[in-house]
């Protein structure tokens, strides 16, 4: 938090108050970017003058402007390198800056909210250029005020007088002026942001308060970041934003997704790594609190405002799910050096993953290792270093996480439990693309009220109304549907059935890789009247066997994660770069000349990314800029698929043969 006294209005006694969410731009931290944007109303987009627009620039503009409706301004950084390293003339430097501005504008116009006229323009002072390293910058307005020309910057570099630039064109001035002049205050932003990021009733008391960012409305907000301070034994500080009402230090808050109430021990705002205590935080402001931990992205309200009626409490709306630009596609095994620390390791990893929900982990019960999955090797490296500071661990080599999918509808399979007292009739089929998209965007979740979920599926994916209300579980891009009518005693086994379904999805049958895009529907079930005969082991055996048999019949295949790749390389080296991409099963989409550089764009399997950066650096003498972004999953080529599957099965200690029905045939129910 900082105060800014605008020098253009010296008689104004009331300073502007800024609250900043600073995030790295690297793909490894894209989750942090998305969560920070949810708590922001505007965005200062930073582009490297030397690199220009890269893949991650495009991603961050899409996330900021298109996903979170944060109005943008632009700062073009590292202009000093154009002058002192590349020795560009003023004319060439201005052309490069103008080109970056035009390209950013094109990206903004593609994704800006419908009906808005958002854009950036140097002549309108929504673009600043400068050097963060040397501490100077300017907008057009500042140059006019100080009667300076851009060429004066070149003259000072020729004289070696960087201090003059820092003193006469201080960087904070243009940045803060851009924010004051072009980015919205919380009240103005709430009018168009709340209908976009909140799915509740806009005409309700809460809906009206949110749209006005009303400090007198009901307390409602979101946790956007968790800071685990290594200097304080990794205690959790929760950072978030109040969107309605006033957050008081005496409040207890109810977490909508976790369905728990928690007491606040300290409340305030972040001051570097500590909390500056403040007794109350009104709507529109960021806050920091200490007292408990919860996952980033949680919606909260005042605990004393939660309806007593359980059904009404279930209907409390939460903020829309934050849309991340990535998936966990790389994993490493981790295990404690001291086997007695296994439980402690689980607690430590769990805490870090609440801070960064883009990563995932699970316990492999056979090897007693935790499998930690993330966006890329760098994210995993950072997480394992943090974990190792608390529990000494052994770390395996990076491994790509594949997906298992089906390509057609199976026939129905009738299976029985181990004790033969329970039966299940089930089939699987691929999820339709629209439903898969709704789950991916977080519009369909397992935590939703079933009526709300059914309405979305009916209106947006064309589901039958009755069928849409019979969804039993939504899990990681898959659905479990109850296709029965008048089923007795289902409530007794429902939770066990859901657990079985999720366990099966996490380690599916081709190679114990996660399943994706599967809809499983059971059309009949016989549940024994004696609870002793319907325990989890019985439910799991018939569910797992039915799902596995049906999947083998539904044309299953292994799918690999694909990365979009974007390389800027000096002219004359693009041939070598293209050869490297092709050698690694990649495809070139575009080769675009950009002055002294050539931009090579394409896609490449994530399995081929590991180590490719070193090859590109070697081929270009370290002069290429390299970026990538998750693109999606594609079927592993037929010529490679069986080899890849058998290699994964070998690594996991599974039988080194393709799966078949023999493992589950004993569970097939045959009428006698």
Question: CATH no. for residue 622?
Answer: 3.30.70.240
Query: Which among 314, 338, 358 is the end of a domain?
Result: 314
Contact yes or no for 180/186 (Cβ under 8 A):
no
pLDDT at 123 over 90: yes
Give the pLDDT mean for 125-138: 96
* Strand order across the 518-526 sheet: 413-416, 423-430, 518-526, 478-482, 471-475
3 state DSSP class of 50: coil
Contact yes or no for 301/220 (Cβ under 8 A):
yes
17 lies in some domain: no
Quick one: 212 and 110 in the same domain? Answer: no
Quick one: 192 and 281 in the same domain? Answer: yes
Quick one: 205 and 308 in the same domain? Answer: yes
Between CA 103 and CA 57 the distance in angstroms is 11
Quick one: 210 and 291 in the same domain? Answer: yes
Q: Which residue has the higher pLDDT, 654 or 29?
A: 654
Which DSSP symbol is given to 319? B
Between CA 154 and CA 170 the distance in angstroms is 16
Instruction: Express as a percent the part of the chain with pLDDT over 70.
Output: 99
27 lies in some domain: no
Model confidence at 109, pLDDT cuts 50, 70, 90, reads very high
Contact yes or no for 402/645 (Cβ under 8 A):
no
Between CA 44 and CA 30 the distance in angstroms is 16
- Burial annotation 64-87 (CB, 10 A radius, 16+ → b, else e): bbbbbbbbbbbbbbbbbbbbbeee
Query: Which among 143, 166, 183 is the end of a domain?
Result: 183
20 lies in some domain: no
Between CA 179 and CA 170 the distance in angstroms is 16
2 lies in some domain: no
**pLDDT score at 68:** 95
Quick one: 209 and 226 in the same domain? Answer: yes
507 lies in some domain: yes
Please give the structure tokens belonging to residue 430: 């691929």
For residue 242, the domain's CATH number is 2.40.30.10
Quick one: 505 and 377 in the same domain? Answer: no
**pLDDT score at 25:** 65
Quick one: 250 and 356 in the same domain? Answer: no
Digit-coded pLDDT (tens) for 460-500: 999 998 999 999 999 999 999 999 988 888 888 999 999 99
Q: Please give the model's pTM, rounded to 2 decimal places.
A: 0.80
Between CA 615 and CA 341 the distance in angstroms is 39
Quick one: 547 and 563 in the same domain? Answer: no
322 lies in some domain: no
304 lies in some domain: yes
What's the number of domains the chain is made of? Answer: 5
Query: Which among 130, 148, 183 is the end of a domain?
Result: 183
Quick one: 366 and 459 in the same domain? Answer: no
Average pLDDT along the chain:
91
**pLDDT score at 107:** 95
Digit-coded pLDDT (tens) for 134-190: 999 999 999 999 999 999 999 999 999 999 999 999 999 999 999 999 999 999 999
For residue 372, the domain's CATH number is 3.30.70.870
Quick one: 273 and 156 in the same domain? Answer: no
Between CA 499 and CA 541 the distance in angstroms is 12
3 state DSSP class of 25: coil
57 lies in some domain: yes
DSSP letters spanning 530-567: SGGGSSHHHHHHHHHHHHHHHHHHS--EEEEEEEEEEE
**pLDDT score at 358:** 83
For residue 417, the domain's CATH number is 3.30.230.10
Contact yes or no for 454/436 (Cβ under 8 A):
no
pLDDT at 131 over 90: yes
Quick one: 546 and 413 in the same domain? Answer: yes
- Domain limits for position 339: 330-384
Quick one: 436 and 549 in the same domain? Answer: yes
């Amino acid at each position: 938090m900082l105060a800014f006294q605008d020098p253009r209005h010296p008689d104004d006694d009331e300073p502007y108050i800024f609250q900043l969410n600073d995030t790295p731009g690297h793909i490894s931290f894209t989750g942090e970017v998305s969560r920070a944007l949810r708590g922001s109303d505007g965005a200062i987009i930073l582009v490297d003058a030397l690199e220009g627009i890269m893949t991650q620039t495009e991603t961050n503009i899409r996330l900021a402007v298109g996903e979170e409706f944060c109005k943008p301004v632009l700062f073009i950084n590292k202009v000093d390198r154009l002058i002192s390293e590349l020795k560009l003339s003023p004319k060439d430097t201005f052309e490069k800056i103008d080109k970056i501005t035009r390209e950013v504008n094109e990206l903004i116009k593609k994704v800006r909210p419908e009906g808005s006229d958002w854009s950036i323009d140097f002549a309108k002072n929504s673009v600043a250029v400068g050097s963060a390293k040397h501490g100077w910058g300017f907008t057009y307005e500042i140059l006019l005020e100080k009667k300076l020309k851009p060429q004066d910057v070149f003259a000072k570099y020729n004289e070696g007088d960087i201090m003059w630039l820092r003193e006469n064109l201080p960087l904070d001035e243009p940045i803060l002026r851009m924010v004051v002049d072009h980015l919205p205050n919380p009240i103005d932003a709430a009018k168009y942001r709340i209908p976009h990021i909140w799915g509740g009733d806009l005409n309700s008391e809460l809906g009206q308060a949110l749209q006005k960012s009303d400090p007198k409305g009901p307390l409602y907000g979101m946790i956007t970041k968790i800071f685990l301070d290594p200097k304080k034994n990794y205690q959790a500080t929760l950072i978030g934003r109040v969107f309605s009402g006033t957050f008081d230090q005496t409040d207890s808050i109810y977490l909508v997704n976790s369905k728990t109430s928690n007491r606040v021990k300290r409340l305030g705002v972040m001051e570097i790594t500590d909390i500056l205590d403040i007794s109350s935080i009104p709507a529109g402001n960021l806050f920091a609190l200490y007292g408990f931990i919860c996952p980033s992205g949680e919606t909260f309200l005042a605990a004393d405002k939660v309806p007593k009626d359980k059904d009404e409490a279930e209907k409390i709306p939460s903020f829309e799910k934050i849309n991340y630009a990535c998936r966990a596609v790389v994993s490493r095994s981790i295990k404690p050096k001291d086997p007695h620390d296994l439980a402690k390791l689980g607690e430590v990893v769990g805490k870090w993953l609440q801070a960064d929900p883009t990563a995932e982990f699970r316990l492999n019960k056979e090897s007693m290792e935790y499998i930690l999955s993330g966006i890329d090797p760098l994210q995993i490296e950072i997480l394992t270093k943090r974990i190792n500071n608390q529990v000494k661990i052994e770390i395996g080599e990076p491994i790509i996480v594949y997906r298992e999918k089906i390509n057609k509808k199976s026939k129905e399979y009738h299976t029985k439990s181990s004790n033969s007292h329970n039966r299940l009739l089930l089939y699987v089929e691929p999820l339709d693309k629209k439903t898969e998209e709704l789950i991916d965007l977080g519009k369909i979740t397992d935590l939703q009220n079933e009526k709300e979920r059914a309405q979305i599926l009916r209106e947006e994916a064309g589901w039958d109304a009755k069928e849409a209300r019979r969804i039993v579980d939504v899990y990681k891009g898959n659905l479990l549907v109850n296709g029965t009518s008048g089923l007795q005693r289902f409530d007794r086994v429902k939770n066990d059935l859901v657990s079985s379904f999720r366990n099966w999805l996490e380690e599916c049958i081709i190679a114990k890789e996660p399943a994706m895009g599967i809809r499983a529907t059971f059309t009949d079930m016989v549940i024994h009247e004696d609870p002793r005969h319907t325990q989890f082991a019985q439910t799991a055996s018939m569910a797992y066997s039915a799902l596995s048999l049906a999947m083998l019949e539904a044309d299953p295949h292994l799918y690999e994660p694909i990365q979009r790749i974007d390389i800027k390389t000096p002219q004359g080296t693009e041939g070598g770069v293209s050869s490297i991409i092709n050698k690694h099963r990649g495809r070139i989409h575009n080769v675009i000349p950009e002055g002294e550089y050539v931009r090579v764009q394409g896609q490449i399997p994530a399995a081929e990314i590991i180590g490719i950066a070193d090859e590109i650096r070697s081929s270009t003498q370290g002069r290429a800029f390299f970026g990538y972004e998750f693109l999606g999953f594609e079927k592993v080529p037929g010529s490679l698929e069986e080899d890849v599957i058998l290699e994964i099965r070998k690594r996991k200690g599974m039988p080194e043969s393709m799966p078949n029905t023999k493992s589950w045939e004993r569970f097939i129910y045959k009428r006698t």
